[in-house]
């Protein structure tokens, strides 16, 4: 167990590699109740969020969700989150645990009459069930990604969100906190493998999902991070001018994905000798190689470019690849 954002979190149950494989080949469950939930309600809720979040809420309908960014004046990323629309007067934001307090304060300060921002994190538990067999194990029908609906698993009422952080099919079940233990046990009873933070990290790096605090943060912008697709530059939101400027001029550096060409495991903070650092790195259980993400000069972000990673004083060759690093062979 390790402390994480005020929670005690398991790094692993059985082991990172078997847990990782369970999610790629069967079904794995993650207790992500540490994540923050913020509700924004009122006749001007939509207007408030439209001015603070990078993605366009016009693309959402009731019962759908989108990946989006809370941005600062410099176009930096205060947090990345998923916004769920119940109706145009009520939204739920599921945010990173480590940014929960800051996100809430950020939104609360900018609240306008007719919008009410509430931190409801303590009311809910969240259980992510991911993998090609996840829906079958949960006895849930298939549904489009980034939709959600009221539902139940094993008789426990929950909101079934078709979202995740692994690149696999599955659902994130939002449940009343007092029912979370019962739901967790029910999910495991269905033969789903319990997974810890270790597998959560190696899974998300394989599919190049950024982690706030590692790959993105207040000093990195969405364009350089490859998240331009969640920035509606044709609407007004905090930092949009700066993001338009970066898009226009082209970013100086880009977040590249790479695979080691030699045996070595890249780790966060290791220098990339051609310029930049590793922001996330691990051993990929699916590729059986070291993989990572890191900012490099834009000219070196092209797939095929050779990079050199300083692995504790030893130079190890890596190659830039197309994102995602891992994709199931169909």
Query: Between 234 and 312, whose beta carbon lies closer to other proteins?
Result: 312
Smallest distance, Å, CB 294 to other proteins? Answer: 18
Smallest distance, Å, CB 30 to other proteins? Answer: 16
The residues facing 175 across adjacent strands are 125
**What is the spatial distance between Cα 315 and Cα 285, in angstroms, rounded to a whole number?**
22
Structure tokens that stand for 75 in this block: 């176009």
Query: Between 291 and 321, whose beta carbon lies closer to other proteins?
Result: 291
Query: Between 28 and 198, whose beta carbon lies closer to other proteins?
Result: 198
Smallest distance, Å, CB 17 to other proteins? Answer: 5
Whether 49 and 60 have beta carbons less than 8 Å apart is answered as: no
Residues that bind other proteins (CB under 8 A): 11-12, 15-17, 20, 198, 202, 263-265, 267, 282-283, 285, 288, 290, 312, 314
Task: Find how far residue 121's CA is from the centre of its chain.
Answer: 17
Spatial strand order in the sheet of 277-284: 277-284, 289-297, 253-260, 314-321, 306-311
Smallest distance, Å, CB 260 to other proteins? Answer: 10
Query: Between 208 and 240, whose beta carbon lies closer to other proteins?
Result: 208
Whether 84 and 92 have beta carbons less than 8 Å apart is answered as: yes
Query: Between 226 and 285, whose beta carbon lies closer to other proteins?
Result: 285
Smallest distance, Å, CB 264 to other proteins? Answer: 7
The DSSP annotation for 13-66 comes to: SS-HHHHHHHHHHS-EEEE-TTSEEEEEESTTHHHHHHHHBSS-GGG--TTEEE
Query: Between 248 and 314, whose beta carbon lies closer to other proteins?
Result: 314
Whether 244 and 280 have beta carbons less than 8 Å apart is answered as: no
Whether 94 and 104 have beta carbons less than 8 Å apart is answered as: no
Smallest distance, Å, CB 329 to other proteins? Answer: 22
Spatial strand order in the sheet of 116-119: 64-71, 77-87, 90-95, 36-41, 116-119
């Amino acid at each position: 167990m390790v402390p994480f954002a005020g929670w005690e979190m398991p790094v692993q149950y059985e082991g990172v590699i078997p847990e990782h494989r369970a999610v790629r080949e069967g079904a794995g469950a993650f207790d992500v109740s540490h994540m923050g939930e913020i509700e924004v309600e009122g006749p001007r809720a939509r207007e408030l969020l439209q001015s603070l979040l990078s993605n366009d809420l016009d693309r959402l309908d009731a019962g759908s969700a989108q990946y989006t960014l809370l941005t600062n004046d410099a176009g930096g990323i205060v947090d990345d989150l998923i916004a769920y629309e119940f109706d145009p007067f009520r939204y739920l934001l599921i945010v990173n645990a480590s940014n929960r307090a800051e996100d809430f304060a950020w939104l609360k300060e900018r609240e306008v009459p007719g919008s009410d921002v509430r931190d409801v994190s303590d009311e809910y538990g969240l259980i992510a069930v991911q993998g090609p067999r996840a829906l079958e194990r949960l006895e849930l029908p298939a549904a489009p990604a980034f939709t959600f609906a009221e539902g139940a698993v094993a008789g426990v009422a929950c909101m079934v969100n078709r979202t995740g952080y692994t690149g696999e099919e599955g659902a994130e079940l939002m449940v009343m906190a007092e029912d979370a233990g019962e739901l967790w046990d029910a999910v495991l009873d269905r033969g789903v493998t319990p997974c810890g933070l270790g597998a959560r990290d190696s899974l998300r790096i394989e599919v190049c999902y950024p982690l706030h605090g590692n790959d993105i943060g207040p000093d990195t912008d969405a364009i350089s991070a490859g998240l331009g697709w969640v920035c509606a530059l044709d609407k007004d939101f905090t930092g949009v001018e700066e993001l338009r400027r970066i898009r226009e001029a082209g970013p100086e550096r880009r977040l590249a994905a790479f695979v080691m060409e030699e045996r070595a495991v890249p780790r966060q903070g290791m220098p990339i000798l051609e310029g930049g650092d590793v922001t996330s790195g691990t051993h990929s259980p699916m590729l059986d190689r070291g993989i990572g993400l890191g900012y490099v000069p834009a000219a070196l972000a092209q797939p095929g470019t050779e990079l050199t990673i300083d692995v504790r004083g030893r130079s190890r060759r890596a190659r830039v690849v197309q994102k995602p690093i891992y994709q199931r062979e169909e």
